Structure 1
């Protein structure tokens, strides 16, 4: 009975935040279909292991951890395909879509997964350092150090 109740609450949380999860997955995969695959796999993993969630108040960090790890795993498994262009990236005139900040996107892609994850969670998802530390199961000082290192690396990449 208690397990069913917890599962229903987790399902509601996932449904309520599905767009957010898609956006995070998309920042890693850069492809709509792949992002949907990552979200689907993350939901499957979460619902399969719902009993590992000790308290519902940790559902956010618990699911983010699953989503980020699934995203990184997906990229590692599909690196040879990630360099290929997705047909949806071509508009009607046959040109690539123009991103408003292509330099930032390219610089982010050069960062390691650890640094990229922190930047995405801090600036694109607007999470606090303490929340990021909880999601990544790290010390807050470690997160701060990685954040400042990542920002320094981004600055160097963008200034070139």
Structure 2
């Protein structure tokens, strides 16, 4: 659980308090980073860079209730930066599909993963946050610094593109 006194100490530069706050979310951070890069080493690098950026900028967090949102934003932006630098696409774990539909055949799961991997970055991101992290649209909008309407539109378009994929029209590199 989140500890308010730890947060205040971390904001004042206490490394131990900051590391304890990070310890609470480290597994969640790693899993999310892994969803973006599907590579253990890259995911660990993203988490490490996220923690470094967060420590340096800890004093910018206005209230403790925003800490997790702020930390997740840093992770998302860091992961997207790594992907841009390496010109990779976002790959997803098979577990994501299993979580959503445990009775789905393995072939269907692989088709869904393939379809999601072909989506544009912005569509993959909203799909990951909405259906893997099970976040509400408002929180996704906060994470991505965009209006809720944009998140809803991107989710709708992503779902339409996935439907198109299943109806035989493959999604191209641009996510169309």
Can you give the 5+ residue segments of structure 2 that lack an aligned partner in the other structure? 1-8, 91-105, 169-176
Is the aligned partner of 1:111 residue 2:112? Answer: no
Deviates more, 1:124-133 or 1:135-144: 135-144
Rounded to whole Å, the distance in 2 between the matches of 1:62 and 1:137 is: 11
Can you give the 5+ residue segments of structure 1 that lack an aligned partner in the other structure? 83-97
Aligned equivalent of 1:42, options 32, 40, 50: 50
Higher relative contact order (CA 8 A, sep 6+): 1
Aligned length in residues: 146
Is the aligned partner of 1:141 residue 2:146? Answer: no
Which residue in 2 is equivalent to 1:32? 40
Instruction: Tell me the CA shift for residue 100 of structure 1.
Output: 7.4
Rounded to whole Å, the distance in 2 between the matches of 1:8 and 1:155 is: 48
Alignment of 1:38-77 (within 5 A): 38-77=46-85
Q: TM-score, normalising length from structure 2?
A: 0.73
In structure 2, relative to structure 1, the CA distance for the partners of 1:62 and 1:155 (3 Å cut) is same
Instruction: Tell me the CA shift for residue 44 of structure 1.
Output: 0.8
